[in-house]
Structure 1
Amino acid sequence: MPGIAILGAGIFAKEAHLPALHALGSDAPPLLAVYSRSEATAKECSEAAVSLGLAPAPAIYHDGDAEHNLDALLARPDITAVIVVLPITLQPEIIRKAFAAGKHVLSEKPVAPDVASGIALIKEYEEKYKANLVWRVAENFEAEPGFRAAGKLIRDGKIGKVNFFKATVMNFIDVGNKYYKTPWRTVPDYQGGFLLDGGVYQGGFLLDGGVHTIGALRTMLPHPLTHLSAYASSNFDYLKPHDTINAVVQSAGNFHGIVELSFGAPTAANPVADQYIITGGEGWLTVNMKHTAGKSVLRIHLRRVVRDHEGKRLREEEETMDLPGTGVKSEFESFFEKIEGKETMDIGDPVQALKDVAFIQAGLNSEGVSIDLEKLVVEGK
């Protein structure tokens, strides 16, 4: 059976990707290899795979050994697809190498460190590789059953025409946070860069984590976001250069909303849980992500007006549903189905993922000026 490899052996690879592969069981191709820049982290990831029951132990590849480096891994004919989980600025180069080696690619979000480089990468894929290779961007919020169910409720007219929305996400990040200690978020060379006042602006947590929020909105809202006006700020020195974006947003469907996105919450207990509120002419729904005992659940709360056949208001109905957080597993399953040519979820489109990056880039650069998101995605500036 054709196998896969994981390129990158950090926290998310070990704590999310390996469990997802294990949960899929025989529906996932065998994990044949793990690559990391260091031998030690590659070994840790391989051992973690075995401890979960993924056998045999994935082969270890790392830099500094010509016989067991990334080029050697990509040369293996029994590996047909790779999952790329590397620092943001390194991913485009590795994705290109995988394409050139004839491998299907599932690359972690964001699609690229900035819009311009994302446009170039997508153009190269579409012109040279798309006919024969699958490339998907792993935005697990897009694959979450909860966000997808909320989107279907809205498309089915359960709250009527969408009038406005609000997304509030507040994250407490201190220097002891396991993700803060990774170079993805703290070393400028790995964070991704946006042009600001003629210099390079680093994305950090807002780029790496913020695209989740925009991906969730993209999944739920019936029309794409087209314009924003925002301000960004830095509230903690260790989270420089910016940790917060507040944006007012317009959509193609003539509705508008507010996005409050921060990794600069001052305490672990926040005044409001991560929440999405979408309001229509006939009702509203909220989506909250809850974490309990190591598991995540998305709770959808819907309240709507019920009318008779003449349109007369009869009553209001309320409904709550909890859906398990299985986004990583779902995106993996869909990726493997796509490779096999099966009908599957329409997720992971690099062009759509680029829109998430465009939102963050625009939010960091806006300084109160309205930015055309659709133009940014086309022109890269």
Structure 2
Amino acid sequence: MVVGVAIIGSGIFVSKEHLPAVQVTSSLTLKAIYSRSLSSARNLGSDISSLDLYSNDAGAGRTYQDLLERTDVEAVIIALPILMQPEFIKRALEAGKHVLAEKPIAKDVATATELLEWYEKNINTSKVTFCVAENYRFFDSVIFAREQVEKLGRVLGFNVRLQNMVKLGGRYIETEWRKKPEYQGGFVLDAGIHCIAGLRMLLGPENAPVRVAAFSEQLQNHLPPVDTLNATVKTKSGVTGSFAVSFGTTYDEYELSVACEKGAVYRDRAGTSFEVGIGGAVVVRSEGKQERTEFMNEEFGVKQEVKAWAKALETGLQDPRQKPEEALRDLEMVSWSILFDFCLTNRYASSLKPCCVVESRMDSL
């Protein structure tokens, strides 16, 4: 079974990751690309010369709606600026297309919750699937780290540290919608949410976060509205840990670590920078021994997640790592950490109740 797909978007990540991922997935065949402008679609390069291009300025019969009406396009990958995602997702689902949308699921929890409720109410979810991409859940190193955590017994604590400086002139900051974000969190939302997904995967459902107390700040003028977040997190098992993310500091570090009864697991970079981002490593310390395993070929994890999505389209069994509910839980944690101390649950955001001050306790809710 080969599924015809279209890519919606033509930005950096489409060019570097989504396009190559679709091209190397044998069960997918790329039929078309949509971009807001025809020139940006053409800028994806010679690899798309044989594809049909759609855009707002491509003329009659070449709009987004025209693409959605094609019967040979069964599924779409949507990778547009954050504020545009929900509208394009809804229109694709209404047209009966399976959707793999880039993270975050939406600009904020309220918008994401409305989108999920709309999907469940208006779309036959057994026939038309809605998935959200989160490449951290498909990193070989993160999967391996989770396996090691499970072997080492009860979780005792955890720490996340992702700190570096996003400088003007970098390929991501120079995109207009990131440079002047009209959504909460800026880079803390757009990039920091990856770390939350990785943390949640390592901790597992038995250690799901239920409470967050946090401070956020903007350290650099060119990184509005915030570029730094420091939080303390408590899980439903009672374990606490720290979550520190900054894109406006002179620190340069990345580490995701979990302490267990029989040892500790560390996931870090395999000698690569934030901008390059290729390769991870896992260090396991147990019984006085230390073992380091490197995963230099995992790249950004996008090929793995697109392959998993393609398999789900073929089998009809959605990969749980791509369910929109998982993306919502990631967004809950980063959103309410940015705004104020918040109590998290495993349900939709409509069930959450804010704690007005850091001193509020669970028994007061």
The answer to whether the superposition gives a TM-score over 0.5 is yes
* Whole-angstrom CA distance in 1 between matches of 2:164 and 2:316: 38
Q: Kindly tell me: are residues 106 and 247 of structure 1, through their superposed partners in 2, closer, same or farther at Cα, counting changes over 3 Å? A: same
Which position in structure 1 is the counterpart of 2:146? 151
User: Secondary structure of the equivalent of 1:273?
Assistant: strand
Q: Which runs of 5+ in 2 are unaligned?
A: 354-365
Corresponding residue of 1:163: 156
User: How far off its partner does 1:361 sit?
Assistant: 1.1
1:321 deviates by 1.0
Corresponding position: 1:371 with 2:351: no
8 Å Cα contact 2:180-2:224 kept in structure 1: no
> Of 269, 285, 303, which residue of structure 2 is paired with 1:329?
303
Contact 1:359/1:373 (<8 A) preserved = yes
CA distance in 1, matches of 2:178, 2:185: 8
Equivalent in the alignment of 1:119:
113
Tell me, which stretches of 5 or more residues in structure 1 are unaligned? Answer: 51-55, 193-201, 306-315
Answering whether residue 119 of structure 2 is matched by residue 139 of structure 1, we say no
- How far does the alpha carbon of each residue in 1:38-65 deviate from its partner, in whole angstroms, 9 at most, with x for none? 11011112x3534xxxxx7221100032
| Aligned CA distance change for structure 1 residues 116 and 334 (closer, same or farther; 3 Å) | same
* One-letter code aligned to 1:229: A
Pairing of 1:261-276 with structure 2 (within 5 A): 261-266=245-250, 270=251, 272-276=252-256
> Given the two structures, how large is their TM-score scaled by the length of structure 2?
0.89
Deviation string 1:64-87 (CA, Å, 9 cap, x unpaired) is: 323111011111100000000001
Seen in structure 2, the aligned counterparts of structure 1 residues 48 and 362 have a Cα distance that, compared at 3 Å, is: farther
Report if the CA contact (8 A) 2:55-2:64 is conserved: yes
| SS of alignment partner, residue 265 of structure 1 | strand
For the aligned residue pairs, the C-alpha RMSD in angstroms reads: 1.9
Distance 1:331 1:229 in 2: 32
Distance (Å, rounded) in 2 between the aligned partners of 1:146 and 1:2:
29
* Aligned match of 1:195: none
User: For the residues of structure 1 that align with 2:145 and 2:15, how far apart are their CA atoms?
Assistant: 29
Q: What amino acid does structure 2 have at the position aligned with 1:263?
A: F
Once residues 116 and 244 of structure 1 are traced to their aligned partners in structure 2, the CA distance between those partners, rounded to angstroms, is 23
Contact 2:9–2:78 (8 Å) recurs in 1: yes
300, 306, 316: which one pairs with 2:282?
300
Corresponding residue number in structure 1 for 2:20: 19
- Sort the Cα spacing of 1:116 and 1:344 in 2 relative to 1 into closer, same or farther, 3 A: closer
Do the aligned residues in 1 keep the contact of 2:158 with 2:259 (CA within 8 Å)? yes
In the superposition, the TM-score normalised over structure 1's length comes to 0.85
Q: How many percent of aligned residue pairs carry the same amino acid?
A: 31
Q: Which one of the candidate residues 72, 92, 98 is aligned to 2:92?
A: 98
1:53 maps to none
AA in 1 matched with 2:224: K
Measure, in 2, the Cα distance between the counterparts of 1:132 and 1:278: 39
Q: How many residues align?
A: 343
Worse overlay, 290-299 or 114-123: 290-299
Which residue, 214, 225, 238 being the options, matches 1:230? 214
Cα shift at 1:344: 7.1
Distance 2:109 2:73 in 1: 30
Asked whether 1:214 is paired with 2:196, we answer yes
Matched letter for residue 321 of structure 1: T
Deviates more, 1:97-106 or 1:234-243: 234-243
Inter-CA distance 295–348: structure 2 relative to 1 (3 Å threshold): same
- Code of the residue aligned with 2:267 in structure 1: it is V
Question: Judging changes above 3 Å, is the alpha-carbon distance between structure 1 residues 238 and 144 closer, same or farther for their aligned structure 2 residues?
Answer: same
User: Residue 165 of structure 2 aligns to a residue in which SS?
Assistant: coil
Give how far 1:291 is off. Answer: 5.2
Does 2:173 align with 1:180?
yes
CA-to-partner distance for each residue in 1:9-65, whole Å, 9 max, x for gaps? 0000001112222333x23x11111111011011112x3534xxxxx7221100032
Structure 1 stretches of 4+ moved >4 Å: 291-295, 342-345
2:325 matched to 1:351?
yes
- Cα distance in 2 for residues equivalent to 1:291 and 1:59: 40
- Residue 47 (structure 2) aligns with: 49
Q: Deviation at 1:2?
A: 3.5
How far has the Cα of 1:92 moved from its partner? 0.3
